[in-house]
Chain A
């Protein structure tokens, strides 16, 4: 007869933790060894008794998940804020610079704002149109806002309309989408070669459109802007008169939109060159950036440090909502992007903004897994 087994080996056999060969050898031994059989019986009883004593009723997993979601909503780090404290106009005030031309690379968070609109769960089509709008008119320097700060800002007794001497107005060009028959036709119209995603399945329909160059202008009422800062409790920065001395001009570059629909999915892609903004002379960008950061609730030291780090001529910082758990920062072919994903009655949807050098991309999809959606974005190189 083979050698007797120790408790550990018997217990491993009992627990199915022995390789088949070893288990068979053990069973053969047990058949021939009453002592080991008795010990195994004792170990089995001990194991069963402990199992009963240590038994824990299963938790309610969906309830636990909901609780975690609520917690995430509450605790989203202060890299979040749901709205701009700036006026609820579709055009927003821009931190200025003495630099003549400011070409913002819409910072990764820009999409956010755009994507915020998505959260009402409109269908992809409407969503994409909203995104297009946002990108063509919205240039904001931004940072995280906590929910608390957001509430404070929303309760300010301030009429946003007074912030402008002249409200944002389109002075040239068109913001309408013109239908074109193909991407190559779009390319000739916009002056750059639009990228094409690899779709998860061949599309049954594809539509393309271009938006032309357009110019917007607006002029800030500095007194009113100062008042806004005062109301918001930001007293350690003074806005220069130069801010309101001349109109701010935003030139929107042409953009291409494409809409693909296929078996169970729909995808909308907007791509273009970041807008170019011309700001009045004599305004120090860093100072305005500081004011904006303070406005959003950042402490003076932190705001000063960040304001000096940011290259305001090329960076657009945007707040993103504190209460959005469906929002994640992702990397698309090495470039930072923002992803919103979720589910509505019609199924799963995603929307993604990313920027590569001066080009911005907004991709929205429905009926796709997040994986397939991200793979599609990654395919655009």
Chain B
């Protein structure tokens, strides 16, 4: 039943107090919200906390049924992350160094990944905030229309802005990479 229901129908049910509808919306969109928040915060715990806040908002104050849920959730997520980040300014580089459980068997490989992740974080932190948000939203799988809705952009401008953001990101990444290790831009897989 639930798989065929639109988000709007689920929202309508949620507004009638239907727990199952909430759980279905959670199942559909949690991963997206989490990944956006991981992109923004660079920390698994922070992303989980903010994602929880985001869904708590959905639970308590769901949007009108006609409103697309995913962009709405992402917008709430951005606000939540902003507030969370504001409260931890001391961590200037916003880089997660040790919180992750390495998935690799080889500790040196895990360390390498952690290092790579730090560089990704550092590069993102160098971009203007909205550019970083645009990159993260799109690479989390939001459509241009959704990205535009979250960031209040004209949908027709998303492609151009995206290319610009990716170039800026690649440049920032390379800058960090060479500053840190002297290497050139790598093509290594990042596994946050």
Residue of A whose beta carbon sits closest to that of B20: A370
Binary contact readout B22-53 vs A (1 if CB under 8 angstroms, 0 otherwise): 01001100110011001100000001100110
Segment touching B, from A1-9, A82-90, A101-109: A1-9
| B26 in contact with A11 (CB, 8 Å) | no
Main secondary structure of the interface of B (DSSP, over half): helix
Given contacts A50-B135, A326-B19, A55 and B160 within 8 Å (CB-CB)? no
Given contacts A8-B160, A65-B30, A67-B48, A53 and B19 within 8 Å (CB-CB)? no
Partner of A55, one of B56, B143, B166, B192: B192
Contact residues of B between 112 and 141, Cβ < 8 Å to A = 120, 135-136, 139-140
A43 to B160 Cα, complex, angstroms: 11
| B26 in contact with A65 (CB, 8 Å) | yes
Is B189's beta carbon under 8 Å from chain A? yes
Binary contact readout A62-94 vs B (1 if CB under 8 angstroms, 0 otherwise): 001101100110000000000000000000000
How many A-B Cβ pairs are below 8 Å? 134
Is B59's beta carbon under 8 Å from chain A? yes
| B139 in contact with A330 (CB, 8 Å) | no
Given contacts A54-B136, A71-B56, A46 and B39 within 8 Å (CB-CB)? no
A8 to B163 Cα, complex, angstroms: 7
| A68 in contact with B16 (CB, 8 Å) | no
Binary contact readout B148-168 vs A (1 if CB under 8 angstroms, 0 otherwise): 000000001111111110110
| A72 in contact with B56 (CB, 8 Å) | yes
Question: Which residues from chain B contact A72 at a C-beta distance below 8 Å?
Answer: 56, 59
A378 to B52 Cα, complex, angstroms: 33
| A330 in contact with B17 (CB, 8 Å) | yes
Partner of B30, one of A53, A54, A59: A59
A172 to B159 Cα, complex, angstroms: 79
| A339 in contact with B52 (CB, 8 Å) | no
| A341 in contact with B190 (CB, 8 Å) | no
Is A191's beta carbon under 8 Å from chain B? no
Residue of B whose beta carbon sits closest to that of A65: B26
| B31 in contact with A61 (CB, 8 Å) | yes
Q: Name the distance in Å between A26's Cβ and chain B's nearest Cβ.
A: 12
Given contacts A61-B30, A330-B16, A52 and B190 within 8 Å (CB-CB)? yes
| B191 in contact with A55 (CB, 8 Å) | yes
